[in-house]
Amino acid sequence: MALDPRKYKDWQIAEDAEKRMKTVYQLADELDLKELLPYGHYVAKIDAAKVLDRLKKKPDGKYIDVTAITPTPLGEGKSTSAMGLVEGLGKRGRRVIGAIRQPSGGPTMNIKGSAAGGGLAQCIPLTPFSLGLTGDINAIMNAHNLAMVALTSRMQHEFNYSDERLKKIGLKRLDIDPKNVAMGWIMDFCAQALRNIIIGIGGKMDGFQMQSKFAIAVSSEVMAILAVSTSLADMRERMGRIVVAYSRSGQPVTTKDLEVDGAMTAWMVEALNPNLMQSLEGQPVLVHAGPFANIAIGQSSIVADRVGLKLADYHVTESGFGADIGFEKFWNLKCRFSGLKPHCAVVVATIRALKCHGGAPIPVPGRPMPDEYASENVGWVEKGTANLVHHIQTVKKAGINPVVCINAFHTDTKNEIAAVRRLAEAAGARVAQSNHWLKGGEGALEFADAVIDACEEKTKFKFLYDLKTPLAKRVELIAKEVYGADGVSFAPEAAAKLQAMEKDPEMAKLGTCMVKTHLSLSHDPNIKGVPKGWTLPVRDILVYKGAGFVVPVAGAISLMPGTGSDPAYRHIDVDVKTGKVKGLF
């Protein structure tokens, strides 16, 4: 019997459920999975290449993406809803697998916490899930930072050595421009003090002195490569295309030029295999790639999805944040790279978020929820539902069937729920209220039924743009059709890069991965609802040639988040008698 989530914290519910969870060997038996690589009794990796080769003739299952409306800073339970759907489909007797993203140590130790779900809809075991799992993010940090070691070492030697001496040791001068370095360092915490740094302070043997920076690990291009690679050969090729810096003549300097791409791939061999875990009710869950669709691609991996689609009849994958960010990248990037076509997309909504979009005070993480959220206000909900309808229309533009999941809170009222149903159904979506947080799979039966029904309806999947569309036009299409902007403005630096990119025929082969706040359809996190009469300001454009996309950066968003004044690490500890971690959420 599971603990009541109204009385116990998520980590306590997880710890109690872990007493009864299946071993990875039991999960493998149920899936007829022979390619298991155990990491203890309850976590494993799956040899994806062998699975996909063995089952290459087996038809794929139904493909379901879980996204959301524009969230409040507290999040609206998208991972919880993905786990709830997996549990609900399991209760309906369906063979189902979930695929969610591995949490970053940044939010886990900061304000948002882990991303395992919550209540009776979680991925377990919670502690390994939240604290490094099988080392994928550590491998990404090592691979990425090795590229920076290779770059800074090469810069030091080129500065100190003559051409003749470089030739003797087999090096060609790359003439790297210290003012045009594309990459920085990464770590998996929110460390605002490292956003801008000076390195190489000391003597000539202490490195090349220059300005540098840190970003959070999951924003790394290496993480993006993990998410979109389809095989080890594909990953190896992508790793060599990463642009680390530019020469003084403006030529790109790649990891291949630095002869570090092979060693970087060596760090990533094991990381390419997805991790096998389970829901609170024992359904298999694949955990692979990372979060932050606002500053990264933010998708569970193509490899995990391909494995899940072969092993199950229903595969539930997850995209980060709202449909304007996570789903748009799932639609126009991930599906383009994978060749997979989804059957439906779930848009998770909460009455709390709809009230926020309708005029209620914006919740602040770490502070008590404003009193206005505890009382009925149908007017706020109806006004805020415009944001939900906007996301429904985005899903429909992709030719995919939308399902709205109303993630239920105890403060929701019948009249508020009825208003959302009426307006969302009028917009052409199936709607289900789900109580998975409180009741697990039993509370998600209506949700599961709506998804099963949507998966039976035919789809007409189509991309928003083709790769022949010029980059500026792509950005404009995304801004207008997905965000609702009137147009786009490019800062001088971005405009100069855009002009150079559009002359380069290689750029036409790359997708477009937008960086934008997740807290608004616009670039301004304080503007809620469906903003009108605004222009998207693009201040910079990054190039991720290895991952296969260019990255326009809109607004003032940073690739290194900051740690708040009341972070989660203050409440995390270890029971020294048992060694169990407590306080994770």
Give buried/exposed letters for 320-343 (b at 16+ CB in 10 A, else e).
bbbbbbbbbbbbbbbbbbbebebb
What span, in angstroms and rounded, lies between the C-alpha atoms of 92 and 165?
70
Note if 78 is an active site residue.
Answer: yes
DSSP assignment of 484-532, as one string?
--SEEEE-HHHHHHHHHHTT-GGGGG-EE--B--SSSSSS-TT--SS--
Active-site residue, 80 included: yes
Q: How far is CA 76 from CA 71, 244, 523, 528, in A?
A: 6, 36, 20, 15
Q: Give the CA-trace dihedral at 331, 335, 336, 341, to 10 degrees.
A: -100
Q: Report the distance separating Cα 377 and Cα 355, nearest Å.
A: 8
* Residue 315 identity (one-letter amino acid): H
Task: Exactly one of 45, 62, 112, 355 is catalytic; name it.
Answer: 112
Whole-number Å distance between alpha carbons of 5 and 580: 20
User: 91, 101, 329, 497: which is the annotated catalytic residue?
Assistant: 101
- Quick check: 326 and 294 in contact, CB under 8 A? no
> The dihedral of CA 36, 56, 333, 402: what is its sign?
negative
Which of 78, 336, 474, 539 is flagged as catalytic?
Answer: 78
Say which of 28, 293, 424, 448 is annotated catalytic: 293
Active site residue 447: no
Q: Which of 70, 72, 80, 255 is catalytic?
A: 80
172 noted as active-site residue: no
Verify whether residue 168 is a known catalytic residue: no
Q: Is 582 a catalytic residue?
A: no
Q: How far apart are CA 582 and CA 585, in angstroms?
A: 9
Catalytic pick among 208, 267, 321, 330: 321
Q: How far apart are CA 79 and CA 452, in angstroms?
A: 19
Q: Which of 409, 459, 480, 495 is catalytic?
A: 409
Distances (CA, A) of 176 to 144, 220, 446: 18, 21, 59
409 is catalytic: yes
Catalytic residue list contains 293: yes
In this structure, the strands spanning 314-322 and 96-100 are: parallel
Q: Of the residues 327, 380, 437, 490, which is catalytic?
A: 437
**Active site members:** 78, 80, 101, 112, 293, 321, 409, 437
